[in-house]
Amino acid sequence: MTTQAVRLFRKMNGLFAVYKPQGVHWKHVRDSTESNLLKALNSCPPPAPQLALQFQLLSGGENCSSKDVVLSPSMVPTLADHPLVTGPQFHKVHVGVGHRLDAFSSGVLVLGVGKGNGVLEHLCKSHVTRDYTLEGEFGKATDNFTHTGRVIEKTTYDHVTLDKLERVLAMIQGANQKALITYSQVDLHTQEAYELAVRGLLYPHGKSPPILTGLRCIHFNPPNFTLEVQCVNETQKYLRKLIHEVGLELRTSAVCSGVRRTRDGPFKVENALTRQHWTADSIMQAIAHFTCLNNVMIHTKNYKIQT
């Protein structure tokens, strides 16, 4: 008979997203999730113990001689399979990690459990775009491009305007658009390539450097500013260096005070589980939600192809 714990374990198959706070290592997020899932499995009530036939020796009474033996049959529970005897039924739940975030960064971190680890590997190899918001601060430069690093230079920034910043961002995005065309390995003279470019479906094939597919300023209040970035094959170190390079192009300096991932492929920040929801119940609901959403997307895509 299948136990409640086994039924729960069989449901732990799929992908889900959590929100990794800044200052927390991704390994801590993974270990906490694994621990919570394992705790939920082993806290399931054990099945009712099996009954075994047992004979008890009874006294024959005063009128019986000492040679008489009276046996009484009874059914008693066997405790050989009880968790207090055998220990926890589950000892390991493997949770895989998708595109990682370093300790300085926060935001959407995609995890996989069970058969979802195979899907997670495919997601990591695919060229899905990811969205970030980057917090920057003009006026200083550090040895690691962050506001917490050792200050190596201080500069003025009074000459920096929103118009100048947007021109620099447009220049950077233009250079990245050319790189995207180069690494997409398509012939731009064909109708197919033109349609892909118009629909924003050009992706690099094979290995490529980090490429920005979108870049704009969404907040400007010197010395602070915020950029919204869409990219592929990026690292958080590359994004922090991007803030530094923006400062150099504006003839000043700038450091990064925050990197926040708001989307990783189909996973958005509004669907990511915060720390208090890294529980088995919330994770199962998140897996079911993504599976249902994915099925709807596949059905819609197939419908469009048929029509």
User: Would you please indicate which residues are annotated as catalytic (active-site) residues?
Assistant: 102
Q: Tokens 């999730």 identify what position?
A: 33
Q: What is the DSSP string of 3-62?
A: -HHHHHHHH--EEEEEEEPTT--HHHHHHHHHHHHHHHHHTSPPPPPPEEEEEEEE---T
**Residue 119 in tokens:** 């899907």
Beta bridge partners of 95: 113
**Residue 37 in tokens:** 């899932």
CB 14 within 8 A of CB 114: yes
> What is the 3-class SS of 262-293, one letter each residue?
EEECCEEHHHCECHHHCCHHHHHHHHHHHHHH
CB 104 within 8 A of CB 241: no
CB 99 within 8 A of CB 233: no
Q: Is 84 helix (H, G, I), strand (E, B) or coil?
A: helix
